[in-house]
Each structure stands twice: as C-alpha cells, then as structure tokens.
Amino acid sequence: MKKLVIICLIYLILPISASAKHFSWQGAQVQTVAGGGIELIEKTLTLRGSATYFWVPEKGVNMFFTYFGPKWQIADWIWVAPLVGLAGNWTLSGKVAADLSLWTGLSFFDSQLTVFLEGEAIVNEDQQDYYGYYSIDYNPLSFFNVGVQGEQVNEGIQFGPHVGFSKGPWHFEVQYYAGLQDVNYGHAVRIFTLLFFCF
C-alpha cells in the first residue's frame, strides 16, 4: 500500500515539476500607500484619502491611484468605504481613468480574524476594467499578521500567501502571487508598505 501511495505521488509531482520550469518570474513589485483619515463622528464615520504608487521595475510599470471618501463603521465587526479617485498609467492609451471603489472590512474573534474586500470599476472613454483585491488574515499579535490574498483584473485572478508587521501608523507586508491563467501565468513577490495617519 505504501508503494502504491509513493508511485501515485510521483505521478502527481512529475507533471507539476515539469510545468514549474515554465512558470515565469513576473518581476519584483513594489506597492507604496500613504494616506490619512479624519474622524467626523466618533467610532462611526471617518473621511479618508490615500495615494498609491505601484512599480514593477523589470516590466517598466508605473501606476498611480488616488482614493477619497467616507468610511462607515456599521457595527463592531464590519465597515464599508465607498471611494472615488483616479488611476494613472492604468489604461493602454496612457490616459487617466476614473476609479469608483467599494472597500469592506470584517473582523471576528476580537479582530484575530480579519477579511478585506475591495472592488473597483476603473473607467474612461477608451477602456473599462474591474479590479478586485481580497484578503483574509490571522492576527495572533497586534503587530503581526499572516494570511492569503487574491487579486483580480477582469477575468484574471492571481493569489498567494503574505506576512506582515505593523508599528503605529506603519504597516509592512511581503506578498507572493501566483497566476495560473494565460493572462497572468507566472509568479511574483510584492513588497507592500502603508503609512496611514488618523486624526
């Protein structure tokens, strides 16, 4: 029986190993976010804004995003933020696009388990796209998180694990992405840094 299990594992691993040789490196990615929020109604309503810079040096990719809008704390365990902004260098034509976004955060078990969902329509007269970012985290300590994330551009979805550390308004995360579709086949590592001040 043990021999049969080993043979089955070999047959499963060999094709994966062979295809892994073609699993191309998509380049190191850097995502930097800076922003802040002003509390308008205590523990209920915050006006927030942020700017994001996304850079893939090996691919010559430079993108810029801005977000502005309210964040409502609906209950202790859920908040929503409908945001508007601009996306620079996103479209093939190089024109600026409008960004209509909805962010949602959920927390369970005294915030030890958190979920973040982001859906965006990025549109101008030349191009219309959907962007989504989804993550789930285990937060065993106030300054440490580990989890998995998925990122979607239209029909293409890539996913992977991440680990992060926080200190005051600063958050740092290393994320790994694997894409298995024709539009994103390959893998990448992203360095994510966030600096967010609340007033």
Residue 134 contacts residue 147 (beta carbons within 8 Å): no
- Short-list 75, 61, 155, CA closest to 107: 75
d(CA 56, CA 189): 10
Q: Which domains does the chain carry?
A: 29-198 (2.40.160.40)
**What is the pLDDT, as a whole number, of residue 76?**
96
Region of 9 on the Ramachandran plot (φ > 0 left; ψ -120 to 50 alpha; else beta): alpha
DSSP state of 58: G
Q: Report yes or no on whether pTM surpasses 0.85.
A: yes
Q: Which residues pair with 179 in a beta bridge?
A: 158, 186
List strand residue ranges (DSSP E) for the chain, in order: 29-41, 45-56, 61-75, 78-88, 97-108, 113-123, 128-141, 144-153, 156-167, 170-179, 186-198
d(CA 138, CA 147): 6
User: pLDDT tens-digit profile of 34-76?
Assistant: 999 999 999 999 999 999 999 999 999 999 999 999 999 999 9
Residue 64 corresponds to which tokens in the numbers above?
């810029």
Indicate whether 127 pLDDT > 50. yes
Report the chain's mean pLDDT, rounded to a whole number.
92
Indicate whether 113 pLDDT > 80. yes
d(CA 146, CA 148): 7
